[in-house]
């Protein structure tokens, strides 16, 4: 009786298979087997007692076809930000209600294509398997199943998938049937990308932008993934007109590369304080609390000087007018340019002095926590980005500017009762910490909730409405 072959690691990704027959005949018969697939320590497909019997050639075909999407498609279809990849379709259904039918139909196609290429369950034609959705975030990668999300280094995921493919290729060794021959050839070509592919799936830029960007890129598309201008174009391109897009690229190129010793040392400390939690905003809060004393530059009121903090870390801050309010800033920290923050002087938040502070504190969080993982090159505040690091950076910025314990102390001191009292408290907190009304209201709401205060529904709803002010 054939033995079970284990490929990969159960804590990350493991495919365990007992091949049904000797490796001969066509693609189907050579790859038939009873298998289980484990992700993050959970058996997702099959079970040890009842493994999943299938012709696994389909998994090889899926990997060959999807490889470049797994490599390059790091964001959800335009405008969708589901809580996690398993509810992408729900996010689309909610959104389509507000859309023109033609636009909804086009977006639906993108959603179908996304699922087709990022869900391992799509590999199995004619069988229904539980979803395993793979989404790259920079140097990290998330694998989401019904048991939750496992985040791993992207390289570990590609290695695990390559090992599975390699086991299947071994089964096809010497096969001459057309399906085997095609699968082997497709696998060899899995990573090759054309300009058209990158334009469509990695950059999704209007064609006028594409020509602006193309002139700044080397000939071989294979290296574009390591370029700051390409990364910025992916995140921000669709939000800018041609002139502003060109200005953004030129601004990034004008940023020199500078040493990051001080920032790296502080990043290591911030990473040490980072305890992975369920909710991204709790990570942001905890990191801000731990790092505030390390960062210094606090006046006697408890108000931080964020510009001085960034200067002390050799992070350049400069202004650029991108003529749109939808982006607040671009942080650049790749191998060729940065670290720097380019603040958009027309940004809905960044155009005012207090919103500018929030913007810079938000970028500081990315500089401390995300350069080695989800955002290795640039980040665009307002652009197309993974949701989790954004939530974390927003919470970090709020807590760094306006510490919760100070808000609780101020609330107890003032003991507000009327809605007017609460508004005055938010105003006073905003003045003292030079924070926008939105951030002051947000912190007042959360700090009092965390302190066990049950806020009257009218107070809660007034504070919530203040958090929506820019
Ligand atoms: Zn951000």
**How deeply is 76 buried, as exposed, middle or buried, from its count of CB atoms within 10 A (0-12, 13-18, 19+)?**
buried
Q: Summarize the confidence of residues 283-295 as an average pLDDT.
A: 94
Q: Give which of 367, 380, 378 is closest to 324, Cα–Cα.
A: 380
Least confident of 203-207, 270-274, 294-298: 203-207
List, in sequence order, every residue forming a beta bridge with 316; answer none if it has no partner.
Answer: 340
- Cβ < 5 A residues, ion ligand 1: 379, 381, 390, 393
* Average predicted confidence (pLDDT) for the chain: 91
What is the pLDDT, as a whole number, of residue 1?
A: 53
Cβ proximity of 89 and 111 under 8 Å: yes
CA 380 to centroid of ligand 1, rounded, Å: 6
**pTM for the model:** 0.82
Which range of 168-182, 224-238, 361-375 scores highest in mean pLDDT? It is 168-182
CA 367 to centroid of ligand 1, rounded, Å: 10
CA 382 to centroid of ligand 1, rounded, Å: 7
Per cent of the chain over pLDDT 70 is: 98
Which helix (DSSP H) or strand (DSSP E) does residue 134 occupy? strand 133-137
Cis peptide bond N-terminal to 339, omega within 30:
yes
What is the pLDDT, as a whole number, of residue 470?
A: 60
Q: In the predicted model, is pLDDT for residue 387 greater than 90?
A: no
CA 283 to centroid of ligand 1, rounded, Å: 14
CA 464 to centroid of ligand 1, rounded, Å: 22
List, in sequence order, every residue forming a beta bridge with 381; answer none if it has no partner.
Answer: 329
Q: Summarize the confidence of residues 27-43 as an average pLDDT.
A: 96
Tell me which DSSP letter residue 176 carries: -
- pLDDT digit string, tens, across residues 180-192: 999 999 999 998 8
Q: Give which of 299, 283, 296 is closest to 397, Cα–Cα.
A: 283
What is the pLDDT, as a whole number, of residue 361?
A: 97
Q: Summarize the confidence of residues 249-270 as an average pLDDT.
A: 93
What number of H helices and E strands is found in the chain? 19, 12
């Amino acid at each position: 009786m054939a033995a079970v072959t284990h490929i990969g690691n159960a804590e990350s990704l493991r495919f365990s298979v007992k091949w049904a027959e000797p490796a001969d005949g066509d693609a189907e018969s050579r790859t038939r087997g009873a298998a289980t697939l484990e992700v993050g320590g959970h058996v997702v497909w099959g079970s040890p007692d009842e493994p999943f019997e299938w012709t696994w050639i389909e998994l090889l075909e899926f990997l060959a076809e999807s490889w470049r999407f797994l490599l390059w498609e790091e964001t959800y279809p335009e405008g969708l930000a589901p809580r996690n990849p398993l509810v992408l379709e729900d996010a689309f259904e909610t959104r389509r209600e507000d859309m023109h039918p033609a636009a909804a139909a086009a977006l639906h196609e993108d959603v179908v294509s996304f699922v087709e290429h990022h869900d391992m369950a799509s590999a199995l034609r004619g069988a229904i398997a539980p979803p395993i959705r793979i989404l790259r975030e920079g140097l990290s990668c998330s694998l989401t199943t019904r048991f939750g999300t496992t985040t791993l280094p992207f390289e570990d995921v590609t290695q695990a998938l390559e090992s599975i493919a390699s086991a299947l290729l071994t089964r096809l060794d010497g096969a001459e049937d057309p399906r085997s021959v095609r699968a082997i050839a497709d696998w060899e070509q899995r990573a090759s990308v054309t300009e058209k592919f990158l334009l469509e799936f990695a950059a999704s830029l209007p064609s006028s932008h594409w020509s602006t960007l193309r002139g700044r890129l080397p000939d071989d598309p294979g290296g574009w993934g390591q370029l700051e201008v390409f990364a910025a174009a992916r995140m921000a391109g669709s939000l800018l007109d041609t002139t502003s897009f060109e200005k953004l690229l030129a601004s990034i190129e004008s940023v020199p590369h500078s040493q990051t010793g001080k920032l790296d040392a502080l990043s290591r400390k911030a990473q040490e304080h980072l305890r992975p939690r369920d909710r991204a905003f709790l990570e942001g809060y905890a990191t801000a609390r731990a790092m505030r004393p390390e960062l210094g530059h606090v006046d006697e009121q408890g108000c931080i000087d964020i510009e001085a903090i960034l200067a002390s870390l050799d992070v350049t801050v400069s202004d650029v007018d991108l003529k749109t309010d939808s982006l607040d800033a671009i942080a650049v920290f790749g191998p060729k340019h940065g670290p720097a923050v380019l603040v958009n002087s027309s940004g809905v938040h960044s155009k005012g002095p207090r919103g500018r502070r929030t913007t810079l504190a938000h970028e500081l969080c990315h500089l401390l926590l995300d350069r080695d993982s989800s955002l290795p090159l640039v980040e665009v505040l307002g652009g197309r980005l993974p949701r989790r690091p954004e939530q974390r950076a927003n919470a970090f910025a709020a807590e760094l500017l306006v510490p919760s314990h100070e808000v609780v102390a101020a609330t107890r001191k003032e003991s507000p009762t009327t809605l007017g009292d609460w508004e005055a408290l938010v105003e006073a907190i905003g003045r003292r910490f030079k924070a926008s009304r939105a951030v002051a209201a947000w912190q007042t709401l959360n700090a009092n909730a965390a302190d066990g205060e049950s806020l009257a529904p009218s107070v809660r709803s007034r504070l919530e409405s203040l958090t929506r002010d820019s």
